[in-house]
Structure 1
Amino acid sequence: METSLLSVIEILVGILLLFGGGELFVQGSVALALLLGVPQLVIGLTVVAMGTSAPELFVSLLSTLQGADDIAVGNVVGSNIFNVLVVLGISAVILPLRVHSRLIRRDVPVLLAVSMAVWGMASAGRVTWQAGLALLTGVVINTIWETRTAREEGPSGGDGDIDSSEAEGGYLPASVKLAAGLGLLVWGSQILVKGATAIALSLGVSETLIGLTIVAAGTSMPELVTSIMAALKGKSDLAIGNVVGSNLLNQLVILGGCAFLSGSRGLSVDPVMVQRDLPIMVATTLALLPIFWTGGVISRKEGILLVGLYGLYLVEQILPLTIPALASPLRSFTIWFVVPALVLLLAFHVWQHSRQLSVQAEPGN
């Protein structure tokens, strides 16, 4: 009992250290980039997005180096599911989020393509170092493309602009923040992985489950807080872009980096994750497209639906451990009722929006 309590405390302390370290890392990185003359657009597309994903990066890399591949992969997959269903869902409940057309045309399709590619790479039960190198190459190509296309399109409203006052104080304060942030990220990730591994062993559950739930939710706190604050300030582009950018970096940089570091052994993937959680990750990304298409706004009702789906996902994860007799009926209910109902709802939503557009396009309207 004392061991379990200590592990829970370690997890909470690790999450707090990761949150504080991520915040300092972003502040220091942005300040240094501004002082060095890096364009604000590039900072937003790279430094800030990477900053909110820093906890996932450090936890997954440390897990890989310690041989805990299930936590490393589960952290990435679980964080991506959490970001779409919970982060976007709660942000939309606070304030309906207006979706920029760029996300529909470019960013979400790219994220969907990468998610499907990752699922394919992991289908054999292992992500090789060659696949990891391909993912890391992909982030370089995407960053160059993102920067060029964004400059060609010009500013999109300024929701995600970086405040130039971040650079006040000079190089020393910025460097101190960056170093302190990195230190807290390393320390927090060590404590979190230790506590999560101990919890998994004491409860007799898999490291995959711990990575998909506790670790994933903990390392996604920066995305959650950033998107909620952006929604409260009416900056919907930042709230949505934070989620899409983080999910893309989670797969290209973090999963790619872990696979590359794994060397010849490759990064092992739990068969359950290949059969269940990776398809769910792809499905949640795919669901964004019809939601984004319908009026270009994520409504409060859609936000509640997203959060509710995450609740169902958690129940489906935990029920086999607590009430095994109900696990099979719940899975059948989800497969044969919930999934078809959601598909029909999204299809009706898209059809209704298309009909409205056709009526508006008729002469005299």
Structure 2
Amino acid sequence: MTHAIVFLLLGLVLLVISAESLVRGASRLAAAFGISPLVVGLTVVAFGTSAPELAVSTVATFSGQADIGLGNIVGSNIFNVLVILGLSAVITPLVVAKQLVRLDVPVMIGLSILMWIMGLDQQISRVDGVILFVIAIFYVTYLIRISRRKPVLEAEYAGEFSASKKEKSSWFKNIVMVCIGIGGMILGSKWLVDSAVLIARQFGVSELVIGLTIISLGTSLPEVATSLIAAFRGEKDIAVGNVIGSNIFNIVSVLGISAAVSPKGIPVPLAALHFDIPIMVGIAAVCLPLFYARYRVSRLNGIFFIAIYAAYLTDLLMSATGSAHLSAFRHIMLYYALPFAAISLFVSVWLGRRSLRAA
């Protein structure tokens, strides 16, 4: 058991370090090619911070632990919005770029729903994976076209990547950084998956729950670092854009590639289909009216997000341990907490739009 815990922690550390190496190398190479900061932010960095999820989900799929791969994707998307945005907003109220509200958040919602529909037959097939990856190609292509039509939007992401053009190292060094990042993530994900499976079996916890909690938290660490650092630096729009972009890439790239390369696709457990994926869809849908209200995420919104995640995590742990109080907990959440949250959200959106018009 001690051996498994040590390798799980080593795997997490290696994933974070490798992702940082990949993002830095890829960002500088992109800058050397003259790619705009907007496209770098929503593509290279979003994909780079999603790379640990890709490595873990692909390795888990080929290792026969598909539940971990799927749980990692769904859990990461839930964690990204509720915890990363929540903590970032608590640090400082976040600015939401208009393009995110008009394009990227609706895309995230649409892809979350599409993933749910694809999983209704309890299988994300290879064909589904190819379709998702083709969508990724179209999405990136569209972003590049937008950046050419509206170069002013680059200013929204220039703060984080302005140094990239100034820090053009040698091509060889950047390529080496990318290769080290990829190799490190493959090794780190192998350690992480194998250790998590061993720990799950020791405690009798399902692989799906491990994927939704420990693995998703670990692979989301690059997003945590990027968004929190951006919030501390005052680059408030980056904190939001990083999360939304990563969630989109988790579905179209991580799930798409994992399903496409898997001989039998990725099975979707009924537990995920009936509970976790609908939660992911609902959280994605909540972002649109909340962001649209005042194009910002307030500290109160951040606390609201963190509270939702605490309730979700409590439900997962109670379900995993077979708690006798699970039914009562879900009754309270369904008939009291959720209606109260829905009313609070409606009031927040209404007041936000009213104050925006008054301004």
TM norm structure 1? 0.94
Mapped partners of 2:209, 2:283: distance in 1: 19
Distance in 1, matches of 2:131 and 2:121, equals: 17
Q: C-alpha separation between the residues in 1 aligned to 2:259 and 2:179? A: 26
Matches of residues 182-331 of structure 1 in structure 2 within 5 Å? 182-263=182-263, 265-322=264-321, 324-331=323-330
TM-superposed deviation, 1:157? 6.4
1:7 counterpart = 2:4: yes
Question: For 1:187-220, what per-residue CA distance to the aligned partner results, in whole angstroms no more than 9, with x for missing partners?
Answer: 1011000111111111111100000000000000
CA shift for structure 1 position 169: 2.9
1:337 partner letter? Y
The letter of the residue matching 2:72 is N
Query: Does residue 1:144 correspond to 2:141, yes or no?
Result: yes
- Mind listing any 5+ residue stretches in structure 1 that lack a counterpart? none
Tell me the SS of whatever aligns to 1:250: helix
The aligned counterpart of 2:72 is 75
Which shows bigger deviation, 289-298 or 233-242?
289-298
CA RMSD of aligned residues (A): 1.6
Percent sequence identity over aligned pairs: 38
Offset of residue 7 of structure 1: 1.7
In 1, Cα distance between equivalents of 2:33 and 2:149: 23
Partner of 1:115 in structure 2? 112
The aligned residue for residue 129 of structure 1 is 126
Partner of 1:16: 13
Residue 339 of structure 2 corresponds to which residue in structure 1? 340
Paired residues in the alignment total: 356
Which amino acid in structure 2 is aligned with residue 300 of structure 1? R
Shift of 1:184: 1.1
C-alpha change, 1:86 and 1:57, in structure 2 (3 Å) is same
Distance 1:68 1:176 in 2: 31
In structure 1, which of residues 49, 53, 57 is the aligned counterpart of residue 54 of structure 2? 57
Given that residues 200 and 210 in structure 1 are in contact (C-alpha distance below 8 angstroms), is that contact kept between their aligned partners in structure 2?
Answer: yes
Task: Please report how far the alpha carbon of residue 221 of structure 1 lies from its aligned counterpart in structure 2 after TM superposition.
Answer: 0.2
The letter of the residue matching 1:168 is K
Deviation, 1:83, is: 0.1
The amino acid across from 2:41 in the alignment is G
Equivalent residues of 1:86, 1:307 under 8 A apart: yes
How far apart are the structure 2 equivalents of 1:356 and 1:89? 22
Answer yes or no: is the 8 Å Cα contact 1:45–1:147 preserved in 2.
no
Contact 1:7 1:198 in 2 (8 A): yes
The higher radius of gyration belongs to 1
Whether the 8 Å contact between 1:128 and 1:266 is mirrored in structure 2 is yes
- Aligned partner of 1:326: which letter? H
SS at match of 1:325: coil
Look up the equivalent residue of 1:219 and give its one-letter code.
T
Letter in 1 for 2:149: E
- Once the 2 structures are TM-superposed, how far is the Cα of residue 159 of structure 1 from its aligned partner? 4.0
Q: Counterpart amino acid of 1:314? A: L
Q: Distance in 1 between matches of 2:322 and 2:138?
A: 47
Supply the AA of the counterpart residue of 2:293: T
Q: How far 1:171 moved relative to its partner? A: 1.4
Indicate the larger mover: 318-327 or 103-112: 318-327
Q: Which range moved further: 269-278 or 168-177?
A: 168-177
Deviation at 1:172, TM superposition (A): 2.0
Counterparts in 2 of 1:16-55, with a 5 A limit?
A: 16-55=13-52
Partners of 1:35 and 1:167 within 8 A in 2:
no
Distance 1:214 1:166, change over 3 A: farther
Indicate how the Cα distance of structure 1 residues 121 and 166 shifts in structure 2: closer, same or farther if over 3 A, else same. Answer: farther
Q: 1:159–1:236: 8 Å Cα contact kept in structure 2?
A: no
2:309 & 2:240 partners in 1: Cα distance?
18
Q: Determine helix, strand or coil for the equivalent of 1:324.
A: coil
Matched residue, 1:86: 83
Q: Distance in 1 between matches of 2:32 and 2:355?
A: 49
Instruction: Give deviations 1:235-271, integer Å, cap 9, x for gaps.
Output: 11211010000000000001011111123x2210110
* Alpha-carbon distance between aligned partners in 1 of 2:332 and 2:74, rounded to the nearest angstrom: 24
Q: Is the 8 A contact 2:27 2:164 kept in 1?
A: no
**Is the contact between residue 85 and residue 243 of structure 2 (CA under 8 Å) also seen in structure 1?**
yes
- Superposition deviation, residue 158 in structure 1: 2.4
Question: 2:43 corresponds to which letter in structure 1?
Answer: T
Contact 2:205 2:321 in 1 (8 A): no
User: Match for 1:95 among 92, 96, 115?
Assistant: 92
Structure 2 residue identity aligned to 1:291: L
Give the C-alpha shift of residue 165 in structure 1: 4.7
User: Given the superposition, is the C-alpha separation of residues 185 and 357 from structure 1 closer, same or farther in structure 2, using an over 3 Å criterion?
Assistant: closer
For 1:179, the equivalent position in structure 2 comes to 179
Check conservation: 2:289, 2:349, Cα contact below 8 A. Answer: yes
State the alpha-carbon separation in 2 of the partners of residues 296 and 44 from structure 1.
19
Q: TM-score normalised to the size of structure 2? A: 0.95
> Does structure 1 residue 153 correspond to structure 2 residue 150?
yes
CA change 1:67–1:289 in 2 (3 A) is same
1:302 shift after superposition: 0.7
